[in-house]
Amino acid sequence: MQEALALAHQAFLNQEVPIGAIVVSNGNIIGRGFNQTLSKGSVLAHAEIIAIEDACKNIRNHRLVDTMLFSTIEPCHMCAKAIIDARISYIIFGAREPKSGSIVSVDNFLDRSFHNHSVSFEEGILKDECKEIMQRFFKARRN
Amino acid sequence: MQEALALAHQAFLNQEVPIGAIVVSNGNIIGRGFNQTLSKGSVLAHAEIIAIEDACKNIRNHRLVDTMLFSTIEPCHMCAKAIIDARISYIIFGAREPKSGSIVSVDNFLDRSFHNHSVSFEEGILKDECKEIMQRFFKARRN
């Protein structure tokens, strides 16, 4: 999660909402992403989506079997569905996203019975650090 | 929807699940996409996502205000969330997707109270044609 946080810092420096994500396979980082919605001019450029695309490119496979995704912030429905479709096994996120977090905050999306792949999750790893950088970003933007 | 169906045919010719989508603004097509998950090696390469990215690039804006998205098949949660985040006003789809369709089939995702943007929808336009090309594709793949 330290690595995902470092990526969140990179987003912060680029004046983007500071969220970072990595994909890990057998202890190795195979994909990295940080939020780039403004610089890429795309609502799709969430940290998780970019990390998944990076991982798929690196291992030349559109299925990321037996991998884990770490994200500093709870994923939204778009990212959660991409994680499921990519066959990632496990999501670990730092802090909750009360307005759009699909895992525990506004929905229990992973638990829905219609998915054809099951993803487990864990939350709260480096929660304070993941939350603090977000708060610092939004405070700076308000000023 | 004829244009979205033509894009679905293009996916079919590329041996991809035949789904097509367009984004329309003031009667003009500003974005086009067809499913390319295999050729792009990415679970993100759904027709709707590609059409949204194409439209954002063409109008140089990550918000697609006052636009409509036509898709031959009912969008999944990933695409529906991208449509909401892109501020598209209206979704029109041809046929339902019973296993993953997020609008009416497995969920009523657009109706959930947590979204910060409201999207309306209409279904059934050229339903038989949109469904037929899918059935033809899966039948050919089984043989």
**Cα A86–A39–B119 angle (5° rounding)?**
65
Q: Are B3 and B22 in contact (CB under 8 A)?
A: yes
**Average of per-residue pLDDT values in chain A:** 96
Q: What is the pLDDT of residues B50-97, one digit of tens each?
A: 999 999 999 988 899 999 999 999 999 999 999 999 999 999 999 999
Q: Do A76 and B78 touch (CB under 8 A)?
A: no
Helical pair B47-59 and B77-85, crossing angle rounded to 10 deg: 20
Summarize the confidence of residues B110-117 as an average pLDDT: 94
Q: What is the bridge-based pairing of β-strands B28-34 and B20-25?
A: antiparallel
Decide if pLDDT at B41 tops 90: no
Q: What is the pLDDT of residues A5-21, one digit of tens each?
A: 999 999 999 999 999 99
Decide if pLDDT at B136 tops 90: yes
Q: Are B130 and B94 in contact (CB under 8 A)?
A: yes
Residue A81 has its nearest CB partner, among B40, B77, B114, at B77
The pTM of this model reads 0.94
ipTM here: 0.91
Q: Give the residue among B84, B138, B128 at the shortest CA–CA distance from B109.
A: B84
A73 token code pair: 């912030």
Q: Do A86 and B38 touch (CB under 8 A)?
A: no
Q: Do B77 and A76 touch (CB under 8 A)?
A: no
Q: What per-residue confidence (pLDDT) applies to B143?
A: 83
DSSP class per residue in chain A: -HHHHHHHHHHHHTTS---EEEEEETTEEEEEEE--TTTTT-TT--HHHHHHHHHHHHHT-S--TTEEEEEEE---HHHHHHHHHTT--EEEEEE--TTT-TTTTS--GGG-TT-SS--EEEE-TTHHHHHHHHHHHHHHHH-
Decide if pLDDT at B120 tops 90: yes
**Residues found in chain B:** 143
The CA-atom distances, in angstroms, between A55 and each of A19, A24, A41, A68, A83 are: 17, 9, 22, 11, 12
**Cα B82–B88–B90 angle (5° rounding)?**
115
Q: What per-residue confidence (pLDDT) applies to A143?
A: 83
CA distance A93 to A110: 14
Decide if pLDDT at A41 tops 90: no
CA distance A56 to chain B (A): 7
